[in-house]
Structure formats: C-alpha cells, structure tokens
Amino acid sequence: MFYPKYGKRFIDLIGSLLLLIVSLPILLITSFFLFAQNKGGVFYYQKRPGFKEKPFYIIKFKTMTDQKDEKGNLLSNSERITTIGRWVRKLSLDELPQLLNVLKGDMSLIGPRPLLMKYLPLYSDEQHQRHEVKPGITGWAQVNGRNSISWEEKFTLDLYYVDNVSFLLDVRIVGLTVLKILKREGINQSDSQTMQPFKGTK
C-alpha cells in the first residue's frame, strides 16, 4: 500500500520538521531550565527496539536525577523526578525531543510506543508483531488509555494499529492526542506512578 510505505514517511519528515521549528522556543526554554536544574544534563538517551526490533536510542528531556540507594539501585521515579522535570512531564514536553528521532527515521509520529529492550524476550509471537511498523511518539494505545490500561489491552491496541494503519487512522490519532493533552486524560495511573513493568503475558 502506498501510504504505509511512502506517504507515512513523507508526512513524518514534513510534520517533524515543522513541529521542531514551531516548538523551537519551547525546546530552548525547557533546555535552559533543565540545564540549570540538572547541572548540565538536558537530554536522556535510552536504547529501545524500533522497526523489526532494530535498536535505536530514543531522545527525551532528562526529568529525573540518577540518584541511587546504598545498594547502588536507582531510587523510585517519584523520588528522582526534579521540580522542573515534574512540570515538563505535566505539560507533556518530555516527548518533544523525539521529533529528532522521527526526522532521523528511527521513529514515526504515529505508531506503537517503543518499549524497553528487556521486554523483548517476554513477548508472545503475536506481541512481537507490534514491531512490524516504526514506533511512534503517540499511537492508538496512547489515545485509548495509555498507562491507565493493562499491558494486554495496550498490546491489543498496538496490534490493531499494525493491522489497520492508514492515513485516516493517523489523522484520528493526532486529533485524539491533542484532546488528551488538553484534557489531561489517561496520562498515568496516578500523578506519581507510571506504568508497572511488563512481566510477560500470563
């Protein structure tokens, strides 16, 4: 089909470039405050599985410190998140640097969210199919509950997108994403808690 193979990438290139230009003042201001709070650390890079499970490094604003306990383990998210970082997340600005991933071709504007590399061995054969399209900044699962739904529901929604990717579906997801951001709906399970780690499908 034309759209999944060619049209989607064209829209990703134009869309990410325009969004980067429009959001440049926000990116610069956010970077300045994070630089001051984190004493130099502005961005956070983490290896994630992309299209066909090929690894790439996702770019995010650094909203948490690297503080560890006496055993060398990272403290909980709620203990490590900074004051500026909390506002960056509240305003949904932490994902903006991923526009660079889209421009580069590692990601798409729309698609299943790229999860952690350590989850790959835990997926069922069906769940692995979520990597048959590029991961996205937002997606069908994100506008239908995001972290407020179970992992099984999230994967079902991701696979629906893979099987039904189209221009109209992407337009619908963009519209719903804007509404979710404005209404602050279905963002996290609580203000201080993110999605629980995936431990495999029972």
Tens digits of residue pLDDT in 127-174? 999 999 999 999 999 999 877 788 999 999 999 999 999 999 999 999
What span, in angstroms and rounded, lies between the C-alpha atoms of 44 and 80? 14
- CB under 8 Å to 184, separation ≥6 — which residues? none
Q: Examine residue 198 and state whether it is found in any structural domain, yes or no.
A: no
Domain region containing 134: 2-183
Q: Examine residue 195 and state whether it is found in any structural domain, yes or no.
A: no
Q: Tell me what pLDDT residue 196 has.
A: 80
Strand partners for 58: 46
- CB under 8 Å to 14, separation ≥6 — which residues? none
Q: Tell me what pLDDT residue 92 has.
A: 80
Q: Examine residue 153 and state whether it is found in any structural domain, yes or no.
A: yes
The predicted-structure confidence for 11-54, as pLDDT tens digits, reads as follows: 999 999 999 999 999 999 999 999 988 878 899 899 999 999 99
Q: For 86-112, what is the mean pLDDT?
A: 93
Q: Examine residue 6 and state whether it is found in any structural domain, yes or no.
A: yes
Q: Examine residue 21 and state whether it is found in any structural domain, yes or no.
A: yes
Q: Examine residue 80 and state whether it is found in any structural domain, yes or no.
A: yes
What span, in angstroms and rounded, lies between the C-alpha atoms of 104 and 135? 13
Count structural domains, the chain: 1
Q: Examine residue 100 and state whether it is found in any structural domain, yes or no.
A: yes
Q: Tell me what pLDDT residue 202 has.
A: 65
pLDDT: is 200 or 138 the higher one?
Answer: 138
Q: Examine residue 192 and state whether it is found in any structural domain, yes or no.
A: no
pLDDT bracket for residue 185 (50, 70, 90): low
